[in-house]
């Protein structure tokens, strides 16, 4: 797999550290953001290929983050995978609203993070 950049966005520092560790073991470099506004700012400054994006964030939620990135970046928008502990009921609504490719449910399962990264990078 080619070296790619991933932005991990979650307000829980332990979750962010876990995901970044999983990616690092696979040789995938990543950055992190802990709020909606910080995620948008970083995504507009760097050309990430993939954003792993929590839905519940301070500032504004992951759906709004995805919308803002898509508005600004257009066709060059990165792939987005939503992360949530909200449950399966939100799947179709969140995917449609955000334009994300898929949703991964918490707790984080390392093999699912790696599989999503490999599929979308």
Take residue 76 and report the two structure tokens written for it: 């060059």
According to the model, what pLDDT value does residue 4 have? 58
Q: Report domain extents, the chain.
A: 6-120
According to the model, what pLDDT value does residue 85 have? 85
Q: Tell which residue, 31, 24, 32, 74, has the closest CA to residue 57.
A: 32
For residue range 67-80, list pLDDT tens digits in order.
Answer: 999 999 988 899 99
pLDDT in tens, the chain (121 residues): 444 599 999 999 999 999 999 999 999 999 999 999 999 999 999 999 999 999 999 999 999 999 999 999 988 899 999 998 877 666 667 777 788 888 898 999 999 999 999 999 8
According to the model, what pLDDT value does residue 3 have? 43
CA distance 84 to 91: 10
Question: Distances from the Cα of 10 to the Cαs of 41, 51, 59, in angstroms?
Answer: 15, 11, 12
According to the model, what pLDDT value does residue 72 have? 93
**Options 1.50.10.20, 1.10.287.3510, 3.40.50.2300, 3.40.50.720; CATH of 6-120:** 3.40.50.2300
SS3 115: helix
CA distance 25 to 87: 28
According to the model, what pLDDT value does residue 89 have? 65
According to the model, what pLDDT value does residue 99 have? 84
- H-helix or E-strand spanning residue 9: strand 6-9
């Amino acid at each position: 797999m080619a070296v790619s950049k991933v932005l991990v966005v979650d307000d829980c520092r332990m979750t962010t550290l876990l995901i970044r560790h999983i990616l690092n073991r696979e040789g995938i470099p990543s950055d992190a953001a802990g709020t909606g506004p910080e995620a948008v700012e970083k995504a507009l400054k760097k050309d990430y290929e993939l954003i792993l994006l929590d839905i519940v964030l301070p500032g504004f939620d992951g759906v709004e983050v995805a919308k803002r990135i898509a508005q600004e970046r257009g066709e060059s928008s990165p792939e987005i995978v939503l992360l949530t502990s909200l449950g399966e009921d939100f799947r179709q609504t969140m995917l449609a609203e955000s334009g994300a490719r898929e949703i991964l449910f918490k707790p984080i399962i390392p093999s699912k993070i790696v599989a999503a990264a490999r599929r979308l990078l």
